[in-house]
Every structure is written in C-alpha cells, then in structure tokens.
Structure 1
C-alpha cells in the first residue's frame, strides 16, 4: 500500500491576507457586539456612549483587517437604496460644480450615493425627473438652482430655489448682505457710476440678487441708470454671455467706472470685452464678480468677488436631506436655511481715476 505524502499547508497569499473583513470578523476579533462596532464605524450618535478607548480599538482593527461595509446587503436588509437624487441645470465650471462637491462629500461620509440629472432649463425634463428618481428608488432629492412648482412625494431640499412648496427646505444666500458688501466696497473706493450685469431670467437667484442691489444702491443714495444695466442672455454656462452683455453696456454711450457682474464666469467675459474696447481693469473700470469660483483668484487681474459658500451650501443640503430621510414621516423641517457671503478683495478693483467718479 503506497503511502500518501502529506502536503504542507501553503502560506496564505497576500491577497487572502488582505481580504476585506465584515462586521462578524471584527466582532469575533474584538469580542464586541456587531451593533456596537457598527455604531462606531458609521459615526452614529449612539456611538458617543461608547468609551473612546473602545472606539479607538474598533477603528484600529477596522483599518488593520481592511473592513469594508456591505452596502448592498444593508440596503436589501433595510429596504433602502442609500441613494439621493440630485438635479442641476448643467455641470460646468462655477456654481453647480462647487455645490456638487459639497453634496458628494457629505453623502459619501454617510455611505450614500447620488443619481444626477442635468435638465438644461427644459421644463419637461424637470417634470420628468420626479418619475426618474422614483423609478430608481432614491430616498431624497436635492434640487440645485432649479424651480420646483410642486412638492415631490419624497424628502426634498433645494439650493437657491426661492419658490419652494411647503415642506421643502431651501438653502439660500443672504443676497441683501451680498449686494451691500459689493456696493459698499465700490462706493468706498469712490465709484458712483456703476454698471450691472443681471443674471439670466431662468436663474432662481436673479431677482433676489437684483432686489438686494437696488436696496443697497438706494440706501447709499446712488442711482441705477437703466442704460447701465444689461442682462445675460442664452443658456451657455460660458464667458460669452458676460462678454456680449458688456459690449451692450459699452455701446450705450454712458460712461461707468465700475461693473458688478452676476457671477464670476460673466465677470471674466466682461473683462475681455473691456480690454478689447481699450479699457484697463481696474484702472479704467473696476470689476466685481460673484461666487468665487476656483479660477477667480488666478485671473489676470485676480478677480474681486462676493464669495458664495457654495461647497458649504451643498454640504448643508446633503446634511438636511439625510436628516429628513431619517426623520419620521410628516415631521416639521425648516423652510429656509440662510448662509452669509463674504467679500474677497483682489486686484480687479481700485479707486476711479481722477475726474471719472
């Protein structure tokens, strides 16, 4: 009878050593309940009752054992999709991108994903979005710079909505303060003849911001000349609408020493039009933008702007919708959460030239 050679156990491969661990493995390793471990790893409020030393043990073991939560199993068990719907006009440099970065950060920390729809200002697409979100079982919706005419049947938060149905929370900027910051800066430098670029008619911020500008100008005894007001036209999220609006202002025949643009993207277009007309920024015309997009500080000259905390607004929207998802049905929620702007003074503004106030 031939004997069989006993094979020695092969060492575990590196891949096996680093195979992701689940809650059960962590529980056995630490001698703690899965519920306690889950509270700590998810950052649940109930984790505060667990001693810090124990929390540190859990976090260290999770890192060493390469813990990965099984989100799919969790969603099946809880009958939840762990998904939030987000609707925006478009994704481009500036407003929407910064808001989305805040939304994404908060949702990822809560193990949520988002399903994104860009409606490109088409009303039928906005109306269709509710069904698309419902078909994908999203648990909540964040609408960015998008007018919702009716309350949807799921928890909903808007960013710069302004006309929300009852039960929808809106994250909104203090536009009156924003206008006062810009007008105070320009009038403090000595500017009296100010030109303005209003936002497109479809933008939910346009009228609120313009009311703030009118109030700020009147409060300081300054007049708005209709000839020195231009409106952005078209749907392109590019510098061209600001460029064209500034050309109209220059063609009207009225002189001005400062320009307050609806956003940074239009301000950058305005600076190009001013330069082509032989005017220097800021020596001949000071320019103030709005939003403080990432490229504003790197323009030539660096753009003075009213910083809208867009990333923070996105984070607040995500936090709020997650709270609503976790709250009992029919609970009361804030109708509005107001955030304050900040003036960022850079190189595109200075006092007007002598005799040109």
Structure 2
C-alpha cells in the first residue's frame, strides 16, 4: 500500500523539516526567510505527489476560515481562466478554500461582492482585472489592478516590455501601417497598455494613425468583439498591413473577419495577439502573441495573499510585484505586403 502523503511524509520525501514545509505551504516562507530554492522544491513535490493540506484541521487549530475570495470579470477561456488556474494550484496545496465570483463589470456587483465575501469570513481577496475602489479591512492582491492603495498589492505585467516585443517584431518585418484594437474602457489593463504602445511606437518612429485605432465596445465573450473591431477598421478604408490586438480572442476574431473578406493572414495582413492562451498555438494560423504568464501571475497572487494573511501589515510587500512578459512568434505574422491593393467587402 502506498505511503499516505501527509505533512510528515512529504517533509521526509523532500528532506526538510515539517515546520519548513508547513511555512512554505501556508504562504509564510518569506517571513521566516526560507530560500526560494527550498520553496520551489516543496511546492514542486507537493504538486507531484498530490499533497493536500488538511484544511479542516488547519481551520480548527488556528480558528481561521482558511478561505479567500476571488473576483473575476468572467469565467471563460482566456485571461481569467489562465490566472484562476494558477491561483487554484497555490491555494489547494496550502489547504485553502476559495469562493469565485464573476461580475461582468456590472457596477452593482462590484459594490456588493466585497461585502458579500467579507460576510463569508474570507481572510483575503484576489481580484483579477477588477477595479475595487473601496478600502477593505483584509489584505487584497490585485492581478492587473493598477490602483495603489493601502492593503492592496498589485501583480503587474511590464507593459513597456510587452509593447516593445510586439512592435519591434512588426517593425523588423517592415510593417509601418499598423492598426490597433484597444481594450474596453472598463478593463484595468487598457490604459497602461496603450500608454506603453504609444511610447514604444514613438521610440521606433512608428506613426499611429488615429483612424487605425478602434476600441472594443462591449464585454461579449469569444471572438465576436474582435470580428466587430476588425470590420470597423476595414470600413474606414485606411490601408494597413498589421493588427496588434488587445488580447488573443480579439486577434482570433479579427483573423476570421479578415479571411471572410478575402484577405490572407499573414500574406496581406499580419496579426499579433496578447496573453498566449492555450488555443493561441492551435489557432489557424497559429497566433503570434505577447506571452503573459497567466498561471504564474495567479500563483504569485495566491502566494502573496497567503503571506499577507500570515504576517503583520508592516511585513506586507509594497504596492506592486512586477511580472515579465515573453513573446511567441508563430505563423500569423510575416513580411509586410503592399497595403491598399484590395478593398474587401464585409460579408453580411
């Protein structure tokens, strides 16, 4: 019969003390100055051996709920699901329960959910692409929150580096007439990402034509918002050879619309996405995209929240934790073609 994987057995397997394992899994490793190498060994072994902390015992012993709340715009393929996967990994290993609520950016839900979660005795809250304006009496970690306020730590992507990856890639392929699909006004990433794009474009000498900039207009799911944005670009009859989209689903929607009008991707128009969701690599064509390490951002958010729960306010991280993007070059981008040779008609 296989050995029961309890805390003692896990510690013996790794070769460290039970106390060290307990501190790592509870999110208090930084407080006790446990090395990053040891933390990674503990977390990797816990995941590989399917170890789960005894949440009931922890709650009874500490008189805590061992529960956190997670607020997301929606639960669907894309950004939120990738971040949630990382949050889940870290919380389950640490023996924490979690409530997930989706608000679809509805003002009344954004107001009500924090109080609702507090009434369920959560010890902290993780927000994902969600702007919570009121101060809360418990620690909060915001993934792409961009709002600096007491008791909130932000997990923030380096948008300058992300914009540089995408625009330098297109510029090296000869693209000068680039169209942009911005995020919705309610997305917390829209403004910092657009500021970064404008700054990098200026540094590279790329002119941004206002007629080649459109904004996603609603919170529709799937590829439809991207299709609508691409149709608007074509209707303006301004030539372009590339599109840089706010996220991968938008990019995929743009590709389907371009193909429906008879344009070849990437032969006539190159398309770059953002996020590198699971389906980006299997899209037709496989999508060139800025890689946002979504699962890692979720894991960092959860580990940071657990650390805050286990420590005093003076020991909390300050304001923000930076996350570096990557870049996946695939087959949706190619050398720039001569723009304006064809005026496609959008199929009804």
- TM-score with structure 2 setting the length: 0.84
Greater shift in the superposed pair: 127-136 or 153-162: 127-136
State which of 325, 332, 351 in structure 1 corresponds to 2:309.
325
User: Secondary structure in 2 aligned to 1:295?
Assistant: helix
- Residue pair 1:174, 1:340 contacting (<8 A) in 2 also: yes
Structure 1: which 5+ runs fail to align? 1-16, 53-58
Say if 1:22 and 1:305 are closer, same or farther in 2 by CA, change over 3 A: closer
Establish whether residue 230 from structure 1 lines up as the match of residue 230 from structure 2: no
User: Secondary structure in 1 aligned to 2:101?
Assistant: strand
What is the CA deviation profile of residues 14-39 of structure 1, one whole-angstrom value per residue up to 9, with x for unaligned ones? xxx9997989xx89xxxx9xxx9753
Equivalent residue runs for 1:144-293 within 5 Å: 144-293=128-277
- Residue pair 1:40, 1:47 contacting (<8 A) in 2 also: no
Shift of 1:129: 1.3
What is the CA deviation profile of residues 139-189 of structure 1, one whole-angstrom value per residue up to 9, with x for unaligned ones? 111011000112211011100001232331000111111111101000100
State which of 300, 309, 312 in structure 1 corresponds to 2:293.
309
Greater shift in the superposed pair: 216-225 or 281-290: 216-225
| Partners of 2:17 and 2:339 in 1: CA distance | 71
Say if 1:342 and 1:19 are closer, same or farther in 2 by CA, change over 3 A: closer
- Residue pair 2:53, 2:94 contacting (<8 A) in 1 also: no
State which of 328, 337, 344 in structure 2 corresponds to 1:344.
328
Name the residue aligned to 2:41: none
- Residue pair 1:148, 1:165 contacting (<8 A) in 2 also: no
| Partners of 1:156 and 1:20 in 2: CA distance | 35
- Residue pair 2:227, 2:254 contacting (<8 A) in 1 also: yes
What is the CA deviation profile of residues 257-284 of structure 1, one whole-angstrom value per residue up to 9, with x for unaligned ones? 0010000000000001101111000000
User: Secondary structure in 2 aligned to 1:267?
Assistant: helix
- Residue pair 1:178, 1:341 contacting (<8 A) in 2 also: yes
Say if 1:94 and 1:67 are closer, same or farther in 2 by CA, change over 3 A: closer
Name the residue aligned to 1:56: none
Say if 1:104 and 1:350 are closer, same or farther in 2 by CA, change over 3 A: same
Q: Which has the higher contact order (CA 8 A, sep 6+)?
A: 2
Larger Rg: 1
- TM-score with structure 1 setting the length: 0.82
| Partners of 2:6 and 2:86 in 1: CA distance | 29
Q: Name the Cα RMSD after superposition.
A: 3.0
